[in-house]
Amino acid sequence: MESYFLSKYEDQITIFTDYLEEYPDTDELVWILGKQHLLKTEKSKLLSDISARLWFTYRRKFSPIGGTGPSSDAGWGCMLRCGQMMLAQALICRHLGRDWSWEKQKEQPKEYQRILQKLALFDEWNSLAVYVSMDNTVVIEDIKKMCRVLPLSIDTPGDRPPDSLTASNQSKGTSAYCSAWKPLLLIVPLRLGINQINPVYVDAFKECFKMPQSLGALGGKPNNAYYFIGFLGDELIFLDPHTTQTFVDTEENGTVNDQTFHCLQSPQRMNILNLDPSVALGFFCKEEKDFDNWCSLVQKEILKENLRMFELVQKHPSHWPPFVPPAKPEVTTTGAEFIDSTEQLEEFDLEEDFEILSV
């Protein structure tokens, strides 16, 4: 079974390219996470860009959750896997850059292996400032309060910068203190209609994939979550987590075999109006200037609409509770206690339910 799987996987580059031939012969641009590709002449670049995204799917044969829980997330973990893909893209942007590309069986930077190893282990290397908007409103003041970090002076360790310290003084180098920016993962949950997406939101939704800060969107259909990474015309391009693969552990040399973490099959597409109206947009701002640029793009492309997808305001609304930056959570549960029974999940551990990556 393993050899059959690997031999089939070897041919995915060719299969992927063949499937791209089925895309319409058009002069329209394909947008993938802030980058554009001309489908007619840049299919190989499009392939490379999509295959570089980390692809997280159902897994089987991992250590039982909580020691006695399920050893596979098939059938119930698709939204978690989509969230992993968005988080992984944020970490790639942080440590490798948006223009980083992946090639099969080619040695990758050590930062890439650390992303695979540490995705479920948050430390200072891969920690992000995470802001989740509420009431369809993004508050600039709150984000800057959370992301601006004032490191201690080298000359006066242990002292906090004086309150009178201004940004202009910092930029002129008149103080030993320098304001830093903690990389931002911005999540904007939205409801774009009642039972289906309201067409008035379509253009603004697509504009979000054009922004250089784009991490795509989480959404899909009832009981089926997908990670949307771009669009062509009125069709969304997405990575599908609904393939069950065997769990991959860290090898003795400390690396992770990444061959099953990149999708070399044809990217799937969905008409945007078939998308469930509950979605979550993701954006990554490595530096403060990236966030300022994102705010400008939102004001120009999103807030111009009469019926806006979301609001962007400067100040914290007075009728809201005070903003408290989230602290690192203390994990007191394995999650196993939330699963009433594993009987309904046992069927997903059967060999015949293992999906082979083939056509």
Is 242 designated active site? yes
C-alpha 102/C-alpha 155 separation (Å) is: 43
C-alpha 197/C-alpha 191 separation (Å) is: 8
By C-alpha distance, which of 286, 279, 294 is closest to 140? 294
Catalytic one among 178, 203, 242, 316? 242
Collapsing DSSP to helix, strand or coil, 338 comes out as helix
Token pair 């906090």 is found at 160
Distance of CA 139 to the CA centre of its chain: 21
Is 290 designated active site? no
DSSP state of 151: P
Non-local (6+) Cβ contacts of 37 within 8 A are 29, 30, 31, 45, 46, 49
**Cα-Cα-Cα-Cα dihedral sign, residues 289, 292, 298, 301:** negative
End-to-end CA distance of the chain: 16
**Residue 153 corresponds to which amino acid?**
S
Helices (H), 172-236: 202-210
For the chain, give the longest Cα–Cα distance: 68
Instruction: Tell me the residue length of the chain.
Output: 359
DSSP string, 19-83: HHTTS---SPEEEETTEEEETTT-HHHHHHHHHTSB---EEESPPPGGGTS-SB-TTT-HHHHHH
Is 93 designated active site? no
Token pair 């609904």 is found at 242
Catalytic one among 37, 49, 73, 78? 78
Catalytic one among 240, 258, 276, 290? 240
Burial class (CB in 10 A: 0-12, 13-18, 19+), 333: exposed
Catalytic residues: 78, 240, 242
